[in-house]
């Protein structure tokens, strides 16, 4: 469906980087609602962003499908029927194809093209965006729609490339799939991707060894078809659902309990948590005790409940002990949802190896070796080792603002933004669901819609004022950075080595990257800023004019 590049404009109002949820809605907004010209560049060969690349067995969203989509268009929301409670990867891609077709978006998307750089020209108040296919496009605005989890992390184990078997990373999975039937497989990592993939790989492999550095708290997904009466009730409540998720803490229909775990008896805690455990999903995490995010004693009460559930599910007591997370609180790392993860370890051909106490020393031509000399032989190694999250995908691009300054250099000690959407010295650059916005601490489509709408309002304001640039003031940005740090300080989030903290990437600054205002209050704050005349933003007095 790609139109050949030579028919494409080399000067447009806006360049959007990425054709996942954010890029598609941004293109629709700019082009169809605001009458601007726009081009989207996408590194993949098709739509979907993270869902284009993450095709590992079991890949699906952990958000309920009825809220894992756009709500800006009621008809669009109504006409798409998901087949299960959680949408699977290929179904999400089909949904995004449907969105693109419905709004005729693909004609403005250039696929198989990675944006390598974007340089701001101060004389012309425009950006020049360059690609790995040698294109250069001028644009007034640049919007990164690159996703928070799109830059995969492949640890640099010694000998990594010497392995003679098959190697795969969950985040860059072959489109044709991988057949593990009868193979000896090693999986490195136990995050959300591994938790989804392991039960299915275990079904095919003759032998599966999982290398765990940090055990995760894992909650049942309880996936399956959605009962008809629930589906119908939801269809009758479009406006209510939209309103509730937009005002919620996390973009889900989940509310935190008023009573804390600290004020509750063990029996009360069991009675609150057990129905959530059985219901599956994020209820225990994002819809239970608020004090567990602030107080370790409260957190321990919830942890104890979860430890008991692991012991119930895993037959071998030594394996169960290894699967019980230690050394950090519950809820301060992203909670994976499972469909048979713990049960997989009850299979005789599935083994768990602790690589915290005995790290992987090297990858060998036939497998891998641990520090104590124990070695393993495999036909396939699967790296489920995650992503250089949030700042990673943005920092991969050579983004140069005023004075030729590189954004990644400005962010060397951690991201510096205003609202997680803009950065001083980088005029007309917007980072959808960027670091220091709620982003990954929410149901992403809700945050994406809010950011796209906000970008459109800000660009509309540039036009209305007859200005040519907008960027945050340094004071507004400094205050936002401090505000982010203050929000996280009283919580337990900094106590874990999570990718929220950049702790999974050697050398990355240890800074909590998402914004902890939460979805509803963050939206209200952004609305207030707009109402107050775009507080914290500086618009230049230049003439808008057309780019030539």
Verify binding: residue 151, ligand NAP, rule CB under 6 A: no
In whole angstroms, give the CA distance from residue 469 to residue 456.
14
In whole angstroms, give the CA distance from residue 479 to residue 483.
6
Verify binding: residue 292, ligand NAP, rule CB under 6 A: no
Which residue, 56 or 411, has its beta carbon nearer to ligand NAP? 56
What are the tokens at 149? 């989890």
Q: Do 534 and 454 contact (CB within 8 A), yes or no?
A: no
Verify binding: residue 191, ligand NAP, rule CB under 6 A: yes
* Interface with ligand NAP (CB under 6 A), residue from 46, 386, 427, 435: 386
Verify binding: residue 60, ligand NAP, rule CB under 6 A: yes
Which residue, 77 or 499, has its beta carbon nearer to ligand NAP? 499
Verify binding: residue 214, ligand NAP, rule CB under 6 A: yes
Nearest C-alpha neighbor of 21 from the set 77, 79, 100, 83: 100
**What minimum distance in Å lies between the beta carbon of 17 and ligand NAP?**
20
Which residue, 149 or 273, has its beta carbon nearer to ligand NAP? 149
Q: Do 394 and 144 contact (CB within 8 A), yes or no?
A: yes
Which residue, 431 or 504, has its beta carbon nearer to ligand NAP? 504
Nearest C-alpha neighbor of 221 from the set 67, 57, 64: 64
**What minimum distance in Å lies between the beta carbon of 110 and ligand NAP?**
26
Binding mask 5-34 for ligand NAP (x = CB under 6 A): ------------------------------
Binding mask 488-517 for ligand NAP (x = CB under 6 A): -----------x----x-------------
CB atoms within 10 A of CB 522: 23
38-41 and 109-110 strand pairing: parallel
- Residues whose CB is less than 8 angstroms from the CB of residue 262 and which lie 6 or more positions away in sequence, other chains included: 291, 295, 297, 298, 301
Which range in 316-324, 366-374, 385-393, 456-464 contacts ligand NAP by CB under 6 A?
A: 385-393
Verify binding: residue 355, ligand NAP, rule CB under 6 A: yes
Phi, psi angles (nearest 5°) of residue 358: -140, 80
What are the tokens at 114? 């990675």
Query: Closest-CB residue for ligand NAP?
Result: 191
Quickly list DSSP for 489-535.
TTSSGGGS--GGGTTTSTT------S-TT-HHHHHHHHHHHHHTTST
**What minimum distance in Å lies between the beta carbon of 189 and ligand NAP?**
3
Which range in 55-63, 246-254, 391-399, 485-493 contacts ligand NAP by CB under 6 A?
A: 55-63
Which residue, 61 or 517, has its beta carbon nearer to ligand NAP? 61
Verify binding: residue 369, ligand NAP, rule CB under 6 A: no
In whole angstroms, give the CA distance from residue 432 to residue 229.
36
Which residue, 142 or 310, has its beta carbon nearer to ligand NAP? 310
**What minimum distance in Å lies between the beta carbon of 231 and ligand NAP?**
21
Verify binding: residue 334, ligand NAP, rule CB under 6 A: yes
What are the tokens at 528? 């207030």
Burial class (CB in 10 A: 0-12, 13-18, 19+), 141: buried
Which residue, 295 or 339, has its beta carbon nearer to ligand NAP? 339
Q: Do 340 and 314 contact (CB within 8 A), yes or no?
A: no
Which residue, 177 or 490, has its beta carbon nearer to ligand NAP? 177
In whole angstroms, give the CA distance from residue 158 to residue 448.
39
Verify binding: residue 250, ligand NAP, rule CB under 6 A: no
Which residue, 51 or 522, has its beta carbon nearer to ligand NAP? 51
Q: What is the 3-state secondary structure (H, E, C) of 377-407?
A: ECCEEEECCCECCCCHHHHCCEEECHHHCEH
Verify binding: residue 192, ligand NAP, rule CB under 6 A: yes
Verify binding: residue 385, ligand NAP, rule CB under 6 A: yes
In whole angstroms, give the CA distance from residue 283 to residue 335.
11
**What minimum distance in Å lies between the beta carbon of 190 and ligand NAP?**
4
Interface with ligand NAP (CB under 6 A): 60-62, 149, 155, 170, 188-194, 196, 213-214, 334, 355, 360, 384-387, 440, 499, 504
């Amino acid at each position: 469906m790609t139109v050949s590049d030579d028919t494409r404009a080399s000067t447009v109002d806006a360049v959007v980087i990425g054709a996942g949820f954010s890029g598609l809605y941004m293109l629709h907004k700019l082009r169809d609602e605001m009458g601007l010209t726009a081009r989207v560049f996408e590194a993949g060969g098709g739509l979907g962003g993270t869902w284009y690349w993450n095709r590992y067995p079991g890949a699906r969203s952990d958000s309920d499908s009825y809220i894992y989509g756009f709500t800006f268009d009621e008809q669009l929301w109504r006409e798409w029927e998901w087949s299960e409670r959680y949408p699977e990867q290929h179904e999400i891609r089909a949904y995004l194809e449907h969105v693109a077709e419905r709004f005729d978006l693909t004609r403005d998307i250039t696929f198989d093209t990675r944006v390598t750089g974007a340089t701001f020209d101060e004389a012309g108040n425009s950006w020049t965006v360059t690609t790995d296919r040698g294109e250069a496009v001028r644009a007034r605005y640049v919007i990164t729609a690159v996703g928070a989890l799109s830059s995969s992390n492949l640890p640099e184990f010694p000998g990594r490339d010497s392995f003679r078997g098959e190697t795969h990373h969950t985040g860059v999975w072959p489109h044709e799939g991988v057949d593990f039937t009868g193979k000896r497989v090693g999986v490195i990592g136990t995050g959300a991707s591994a938790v989804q993939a392991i039960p299915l790989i275990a079904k095919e492999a003759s032998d599966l060894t999982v290398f765990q550095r940090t055990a995760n708290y894992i909650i049942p997904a309880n996936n399956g078809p959605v009962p008809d009466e629930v589906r119908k009730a939801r269809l009758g409540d479009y406006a209510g659902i939209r309103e509730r998720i937009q005002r919620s803490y996390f973009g889900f229909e989940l509310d935190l309990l008023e009573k804390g775990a600290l004020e509750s008896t063990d029996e009360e805690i069991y009675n609150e948590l057990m129905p959530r455990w059985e219901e599956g999903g994020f209820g225990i995490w994002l819809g239970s005790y608020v004090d567990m995010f602030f107080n370790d004693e409260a957190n321990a009460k919830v942890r104890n409940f979860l430890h008991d559930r692991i012991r119930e599910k895993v037959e071998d007591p030594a394996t169960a002990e290894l699967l019980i997370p230690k050394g950090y609180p519950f809820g301060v790392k992203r909670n994976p949802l499972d469909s048979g993860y713990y049960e997989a370890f009850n299979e005789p051909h599935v083994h768990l190896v602790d690589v915290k106490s005995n790290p992987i020393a090297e990858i060998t031509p036939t497998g891998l070796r641990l520090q104590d000399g124990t070695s393993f032989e495999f036909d396939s190694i699967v790296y489920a080792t995650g992503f250089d999250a949030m700042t990673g995908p943005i920092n991969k691009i050579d983004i140069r603002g005023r004075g030729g300054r590189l954004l990644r250099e400005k962010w060397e000690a951690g991201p510096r933004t205003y609202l997680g959407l803009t950065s001083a010295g980088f005029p007309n650059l917007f980072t959808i669901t960027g670091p220091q916005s709620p982003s990954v601490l929410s149901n992403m489509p809700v945050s994406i819609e809010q950011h796209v709408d906000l970008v459109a309002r800000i660009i509309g304001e540039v036009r209305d004022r007859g200005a040519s640039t907008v960027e945050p003031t340094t004071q507004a940005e400094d205050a936002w950075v401090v505000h982010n740090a203050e929000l996280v300080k009283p919580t337990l989030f900094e106590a874990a080595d999570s990718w929220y903290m950049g702790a999974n990437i050697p050398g990355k600054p240890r800074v909590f990257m998402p914004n902890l205002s939460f979805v509803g209050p963050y939206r209200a704050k952004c609305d207030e800023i707009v109402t107050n005349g775009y507080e914290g933003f500086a618009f230049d007095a230049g003439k808008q004019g057309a780019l030539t």
